[in-house]
Structure 1
Amino acid sequence: MLDVRRMQVLRAVVASGSVTAAARNLGYTPSAVSQQMAALEKEAGIGLLERTGRGVRPTEAGRVLSAYADVIGRHLAEAETALAELRAGRTGRLAVRYFATAGAAVVAPAVAALRREHPGVQVELRLGEAEESLLELREGRADVALMIRPTDAPPVDGLRFTHLADDRYLAVLPRGHRLAAKRELDLADLADQPWVGSDQPGPCLAPVLEACGAAGFSPGFVVESGDYATAQGFVAAGLGVALIPELGLGSRHPGVVVRRVLRPEPVRAIQAVVREPLPARPALRSLLDALGDAAAGRTPRGASPDTP
């Protein structure tokens, strides 16, 4: 196999017309250059240079190989530049997976901040279920994922979980409901109410069930909605009450009121997941910082409790 470094020495010899001049330009000794050319000719299996008085000139094989060395040299320079740009965070691509309610309030402002700081970095955004996102992270098809996951959940080999913020659940009541007159509710105030379900069993429903259990009751679900917008519609129609996380209340139904719930206050943990160890990529670190800022300081439209 031809040695690329020796090919670059050949290019210098052909360009300068002599071994001595090439050695001077490269910072080598003439004997070192001669040794490199002898080794390259052995690798090529054919003569590459011939003497012409005090200098040398390429044979036909030398001209062919020198031309390829020139192309390789340009490609190497381009590769070094591309790597430098990537290391500095000026170029590259980040694949982000997120859950639906995090899109507008967390992911959008974070990506906007990233683009201001690293305008040359491309971002691929895609909704993803937790297990699918974890698989993509392990396989290198995603760089960061946002998900709902308890902070005390067991670790996963090769992945790092960072708690960004707690998304609290708020009580959603029909307008005119007797509890709407209260600024804040004890969770036990909802014990005897019919409930509208909005989450499937899993990390989003678990905090609600655990909090209700701590308050001494189990919620009586009378209808399952499947999503937060539909749940609000059922509540507005008077079918029951619901607990919906703040991120799920980005669009408020006009027929409901929202109240804060305490004693206890149900919350779900928003976590960012990356591969371990964290790759040394400035753009990825900037995105994680921006996601943390957006999650901790979010104020989704319509998500703050009403004042009666």
Structure 2
Amino acid sequence: METRFLETFLAVVQHGSLAEASRRMGVTPAAVAQRIQALEDEIGLPLLARSGRRVKPTEAGVAILEKSRRVLAEVRQLKGVARDDQAFGELRLGAISTVLTGLLPNALRRVFDRTPGIDIFLLPGTSAELYNSVAEEKIDAAILVKPPFPIPKTLNWDLIRSERFVLLAPPDLSETPVDRLLREQPFIRYDRSNWGGRLADTYLQTQRILPREWLELDSLEAISMMVEAGLGVSLMPDWRSPLFDKLRVARLPLPNAPSREIGLLRPRNAPSGRLIEIVLDAIRS
């Protein structure tokens, strides 16, 4: 059995579509279908079934999911051991949007320049989604907001940076007291379904501030552009990226401001530990 058959099967299950799996893997839909058929021939049972426009694993497909992930993880580990003189293998890494536009681009450039034997698959998502993907071993690691609950001992947390919350406002309002801005200006809320958004909501409650809210968005990039356009103010972590730093906005300090912690979450005994450390070093440098 070829490992690429298992890789293709897992990609189809993850994305729910043969077409999307082919796009992500850089192969034709016909090649994806052929690999799935070859795997089903070896197993002797159908592994995928259509459900409307989506593709879902059959009972047999669900039964081999976790074992397939473990087999591929062990194969990656074997490749790394065989090439002990250099880092080699694939790293499945998740990241929230502000990490994708801020911390990662330059860090990945350094990784690829120094260790060309590493292949990195990036999965975007919210912190909650990525946490579940790491816990279920669908990916090797993720860079996300620290969970608002205790991290189990089976997972390891590496703090990368702490981002203090600020009041984002149009530049012409930068001399106005922040409590007045929060009470009088239209408020663009950082989505409370995000872990970072909950920190902003808790701050407003502890300060006993009821803002004039009119929007609730899950994208810090979109919120920042709304503020730049003069559509309101917002509470958000002081994240940095080349895109964000070019915006014409004022970042005003808050009294007793909370902080959003960004870090890397991984299984404690991750097979790709060496690759993860290389990426961590590149980010921190």
| Offset at residue 111 of structure 1 (A) | 1.8
Counterpart of 2:163 in structure 1 is 167
Residues 173 and 256 in structure 1, CA contact (< 8 A), matched pair in contact too: no
Distance 1:169 1:83, change over 3 A: closer
Give me the whole-angstrom Cα distance separating, in 2, the residues matched to 1:276 and 1:255.
Answer: 39
The answer to whether the Cα contact below 8 Å between 1:165 and 1:270 also exists between their aligned partners in 2 is yes
Residue 181 (str. 1) matches residue 175 (str. 2): yes
What is residue 102 of structure 1 aligned with on the other side?
A: 99
Q: Which of these residues, 123, 127, 130, is aligned with residue 130 of structure 1?
A: 127
Matched residue SS, 2:243: coil
Cα distance, 1:233 vs structure 2: 4.4
1:206-217 equivalence runs, <5 A: 206-217=198-209
For residues 197 and 179 of structure 2, what CA distance do their matches in structure 1 show?
A: 15
Q: Which amino acid is 2:227 matched to?
A: V
CA positional deviation for 1:112? 2.0
Query: Aligned AA for 1:143?
Result: D
Identity %: 20
Cα 1:149/1:282, change in 2 over 3 Å:
closer
Aligned letter for 2:264?
A
Would you say 1:121 and 2:118 are equivalent positions? yes
Opposite residue 170 of structure 2, the aligned amino acid is P
Task: Report whether the alignment pairs 1:284 with 2:276.
Answer: yes
Superposition deviation, residue 263 in structure 1: 0.9
* 1:154 CA drift (Å): 1.0
* Structure 2: runs of 5 or more not aligned: 1-77
Are 1:173 and 1:257, in contact at CA under 8 Å, matched by a contact in 2? Answer: yes
Deviations 1:156-192 (A, max 9, x none): 2521122221122332223433xx136xx65565334
Shift in CA distance, 118/223, structure 1 to aligned 2, threshold 3 Å: same
Q: What does residue 245 of structure 1 align with?
A: 237
Query: TM-score scaled by structure 2?
Result: 0.61
**Deviates most, 136-145 or 93-102:** 136-145
Question: 2 CA distance for matches of 1:270 and 1:230?
Answer: 20
Partner Cα distance (2:90, 2:112) in 1: 12
Q: Give yes or no for the alignment of 1:190 onto 2:187.
A: no
CA 1:163/1:84 → structure 2, altered by over 3 Å: closer, same or farther? Answer: closer
CA 1:285–1:219: 2 relative to 1, 3 Å: same
CA contact (8 A) 1:188 1:217 kept: no
Q: Contact 2:227 / 2:234 at 8 angstroms: preserved in 1?
A: yes
- 1:256 deviates by 4.6
> Residues 187 and 208 (structure 1 numbering): CA distance in 2 closer, same or farther, change over 3 Å?
farther
Q: How far, CA to CA, are the matches of 1:156 and 1:272 in structure 2? A: 14
Per the alignment, residue 74 of structure 1 pairs with none
Distance, in Å, in 2 between the alignment partners of 1:105 and 1:253 is: 10
Once the two structures are superposed, what CA deviation does each residue of 1:51-90 show, in whole Å capped at 9, x if it has no partner?
xxxxxxxxxxxxxxxxxxxxxxxxxxxxxx9554444443
Are residue 235 (structure 1) and residue 227 (structure 2) matched? Answer: yes
Name structure 1 gaps, 5 residues minimum. 1-80, 295-308
Provide, for residues 234-279 of structure 1, a one-character-per-residue CA deviation record: whole Å limited to 9, x for no partner. 4345442112333377535988521232312232111210111344
User: Secondary structure at 1:136's aligned position in 2?
Assistant: helix
Secondary structure in 2 matching 1:119:
coil
What is the letter of the counterpart of residue 142 of structure 1?
I
**Which has the higher mean CA deviation after the structures are superposed, 190-199 or 242-251?**
242-251
Contact 1:215/1:264 (CA < 8 Å) preserved in 2?
Answer: no
Q: Is the 8 Å Cα contact of residues 188 and 216 (structure 1) preserved in structure 2?
A: no
Equivalent pairs counted in the alignment come to 208
Distance 1:175 1:258, change over 3 A: closer
TM-score by length of 1: 0.57
The answer on 1:144 being equivalent to 2:141 is yes
8 Å CA contact retained: 2:200, 2:235: yes
Question: Root-mean-square deviation (CA), in Å?
Answer: 3.1
Q: Please give the alpha-carbon distance, in whole angstroms, between the structure 2 residues aligned to 1:255 and 1:277.
A: 41
Distance 1:141 1:172 in 2: 36
